[in-house]
Chain A
Amino acid sequence: MLAREMARPESYAPPMSFSGFPEDVQLTILSFLRPPEIAAFACTSRHSAFLCGQARLWFAMCDRRWGAKTVVQSWAPGRSAGPPFSRLYRVLSQWENLIGFWRRLGRGGAGAPSLVFFEWGASSITGSVVSPSPEAGSYGVLKVPFLWLSLSPRGEPVGFLHPARRFDSNGYLEQLVSGSGNLDLDLIPVTIAFMGEDRFVVEEDKSFYADVRGGGGDLGSSDAPKSAGETSPAERHMLEMYQYFANGLIPIGDEPFIRKQRWKWERDGFGRKRWQAEQFMRIADCYPTPSRPLQGLWKGIGENMRLAFYLVTYDNMGGVACRRVGDASEPFSSYSPVFWTSSTEFLRRPFSIEEENIYDSREHIGPITSHGTGIERAVCRVLCINSSYDLVIPDSSGSYTNSQNVEGRIWVYDTGTFGFGFLRNDYIVDLQNIVRNGCLLDNVDFDSSF
């Protein structure tokens, strides 16, 4: 026996083995393990294997890993037994990689925003198309959910995608998201397939219709979904959708029906001829780090008072480049930088008179609502930048041939954010966070953007 560091009184009879602890403690210990260790533990004894099969254990493992982000027990809405936690664990360890920002590849179509944001819901993961609010002079961000992932009432992973993403008809989206209107038969059952860490494909789940019909028996009458108060309209909507298929109210798996649906999409101008698989690529490095304070995804109101998204990236040579993202209205926006510099050598206080003048003579472009209120901010560092070619911020004054016109500055404020501007004009575009603590900021609801 090992040399004891703690003296014990006579009466003390410690459990010297795992089995001496109550089952609750045993399961708590196991809940800190990952599946490979659980598998090894199951091989130690019969009772160990029994413990490893306990739903309680897998619930605790799920809850420990994702409990702060989602309500793990409410996944598989409509399933009275709750979700099968070992499967949920497997599914979530894949799907959690979706959380964050992605760019939709190809086939954007004119005016189709390409920035996509995945986030946790109470019982689902939701993918939304994110775009600057069309309202002038506002930091508002429009978020339109188009992809829901959860477990079906049978405990199987399911996903639904809305192919239309119609940004111009808010009433329609409202109806979709609230689930209040008619069931939306435009939803497509989909599966997610990862291609490495930073890319995934959404494909139509052709087996869905048959699967649902084949196993719909255990659904029963599902008029009272569990914890209805906690499910979001979108989740409720997905559940309804599922049950709609499952209860055979429409001829599921019936080719003519599906064809009819596709025909409907065509007729209504939704989607393309038929919906095709879509690819997404991760936008890495969306947040600043201490060594890369400018890095990340930002939003700023430009001279035209329109909000735009900016992605600032560092290269391995120490250079910085900023590109616009999330709107395809400028077809080359993803290629040519708004500004760039090959050196991140900051100017620090005290600044020269010239630098003070460059800053002081400028106007911050702010939201219309708080115009003239004057936000307190002090510049703590300055970085010299170049605008790229002619593309930068559309300017009616025209020519950019003068070399002075490409020169600009980044002003880093003591608040941690920064603004940028160019010598050719008198503005500062102040950048703000798009996301804080995993949540989109200044989210404009469909309701309010009538």
Chain B
Amino acid sequence: MSSGDSGPSSSKQLVQQPAAAGRSPNQPPLLGAGGRKVIVLKSGDEEEFEVDLLDAMQSRTLRRAIEDGCGDGPMPLPNLTGPVLAKVVELFRRHRGDPRWADELQETEKEGMFKDYAPQKPTAEVKGFDREFVSVDRDALFDLLRAANFLEAPGLLDVTCDAAADAVMNMTVEEVREYFGLVNDYTPEEEAALRKQHEWAFQ
């Protein structure tokens, strides 16, 4: 797995962690270094990740948990592994303020001579990150898809679903079946008829 040089902060960096005891659920979550509001996510294999509160809001699951006051201590996510969570946290950080996932579209910074002609798109940097993010093998991609589904994170879901769709582009029917693990339950006659019907697509 390519974790990049600016990976997420690991548990070792979480030095100042005030005791959660005595805090009411309505109190603001923990303050990290530099006064940022952060929460801590804990993977199924006991790895901890610090994530900016606003970044975590990209996941509806996490948002619900935070709003329910679960953001004080490390938040256990037993069905996500450390490596998966590490990638996810990094994606949340990179997608910060991305117009595709931002709840309120902010006036994006426009620069340069041709600013008026470029539609509001994510920056090339973010797109490059997204591409890199999903250049993993099939099983790893399915792990990320599963995480996206569990976390209900639209940005993560879009990036991973796009990659899965991309993977089957130009594949034959047999190859698509194999990639997605689908079982052919057509009779040979039915399948032949269907293929004939969709002949235009196979040229």
- Chain B residues closer than 8 Å to A11, beta-carbon distance: 44, 78-79
Supply 12 further A-B pairs (C-beta < 8 A) apart from A32-B165, A37-B168, A43-B186. Answer: A1-B139, A2-B138, A6-B81, A20-B181, A30-B165, A32-B162, A32-B166, A40-B172, A40-B173, A43-B194, A49-B194, A433-B116
Contacts A39-B201, A41-B168, A288-B114; A437 near B139 (Cβ below 8 A): no
The answer, yes or no, to whether A349 is at the interface (CB within 8 Å) is: no
Q: How far is the CA of A6 from the CA of B88 in the complex (A)?
A: 13
Is B146 in the interface zone, CB < 8 Å from A?
Answer: yes
The complex places the Cα of A29 from the Cα of B160 at a distance, in Å, of 8
Question: What is the minimal beta-carbon distance from B154 to any residue of chain A, in angstroms?
Answer: 9
- A120 and B35 CA atoms in complex are apart in Å by 45
Q: Is the interface of B mostly helix, strand, loop or mixed?
A: helix
A6 lies within 8 A of B168 (CB) = no
Nearest B residue to A28, CB-CB: B161
How far, in whole Å, are A49 and B182 apart by their CA atoms in the complex?
A: 12
Nearest neighbor of B176 in chain A, beta-carbon distance:
A44
B195 at the interface (CB under 8 A from A): yes
Q: Contact between A45 and B185 (Cβ–Cβ < 8 Å)?
A: yes
The answer to whether the Cβ of B177 comes within 8 Å of any Cβ in the partner chain is yes
CB-CB contacts below 8 Å: A34-72 with B: 35-49, 68
Q: Determine if A12 is an interface residue (Cβ-Cβ < 8 Å).
A: yes
Neighbour of B45 across the interface among A9, A42, A45, A437, CB < 8 A: A9
CB of B184 closer than 8 Å to a CB of A:
yes
Q: Is A375 an interface residue (CB 8 A)?
A: no
**A4 partner, pick from B139, B145, B165, B185, beta carbons under 8 A:** B139
**Please, how many angstroms separate the alpha-carbon atoms of A195 and B140 in the complex?**
46
Which residue of chain B lies nearest to A415 when distances are taken between CB atoms in the complex? B113
Task: Identify which of residues 1-30 in chain A touch chain B, using a CB-to-CB cut-off of 8 Å.
Answer: 1-2, 4-9, 11-12, 14-22, 24-25, 28-30
A46 to B165, CA, bound (A): 19
Cβ contacts under 8 Å, B183 to chain A = 45
Chain A residue numbers with a CB within 8 Å of B79 are: 11-12
Residues of B contacting A28 in the complex (Cβ-Cβ under 8 angstroms)? 157-158, 161
Chain B nearest CB, measured from A417 CB (Å): 9
Give the residues from 280 to 336 in chain A that come closer than 8 angstroms, CB to CB, to chain B: 287-290, 293
- B1 pairs with A42, CB closer than 8 A: no
B182-A48 in contact (CB<8A): yes
Q: Which of A192-229 contact B (CB under 8 A)?
A: none
Q: How far is the CB of B8 from chain A (nearest CB, A)?
A: 15
Whether A40 contacts B201 in the complex (CB less than 8 A), given A16-B139, A45-B177, comes out as yes
B9 at the interface (CB under 8 A from A): no
What are 5 A-B pairs at a CB distance below 8 A? Answer: A6-B84, A12-B81, A39-B201, A293-B113, A416-B116
Q: Is A391 an interface residue (CB 8 A)?
A: no
The one of B114, B181, B198, B200 that contacts A43, using a Cβ cutoff of 8 Å: B198
Which residue of B116, B136, B181, B186 is within 8 Å of A18 (Cβ)?
B181
Interface size range of chain B in the complex: 35 or more
Q: Which residue of A lies closest to B112 (CB)?
A: A416
- Chain A residue numbers with a CB within 8 Å of B177 are 44-45
Whether, in the assembled complex, B132 has its beta carbon less than 8 Å from a beta carbon of chain A, the answer is no
Name the residue of chain A whose CB is nearest to the CB of B195. Answer: A43
Inside 8 A of B166's CB, which chain A residues have their CB?
Answer: 32
8 Å CB contact of A16 from B119, B136, B181, B201: B181
Closest to B79 in A: A12
B197–chain A nearest beta-carbon distance, Å: 8
Instruction: Indicate if the CB atoms of A40 and B202 lie closer than 8 Å.
Output: yes
- A62, chain B: closest CB distance, angstroms: 16
Given known A-B contacts A6-B84, A42-B194, A437-B116, A15 and B169 have beta carbons under 8 A apart: no
Across the interface, which residues of A come within 8 angstroms of B82, CB to CB?
7
Tell me if A33 is interfacial: C-beta within 8 Å of chain B: yes
In whole Å, how far is B120's beta carbon from the nearest beta carbon of chain A?
Answer: 8
Which residues, 80 to 113 on B, are CB-close (under 8 Å) to A? Answer: 81-84, 113
Known A-B contacts A40-B202, A45-B182; A33 and B165 likewise in contact (beta carbons under 8 Å): yes
A248 to chain B, nearest CB (A): 38
Ranked 8 nearest A-B pairs via Cβ: A17-B181, A32-B165, A18-B180, A39-B201, A39-B198, A416-B113, A36-B201, A6-B83
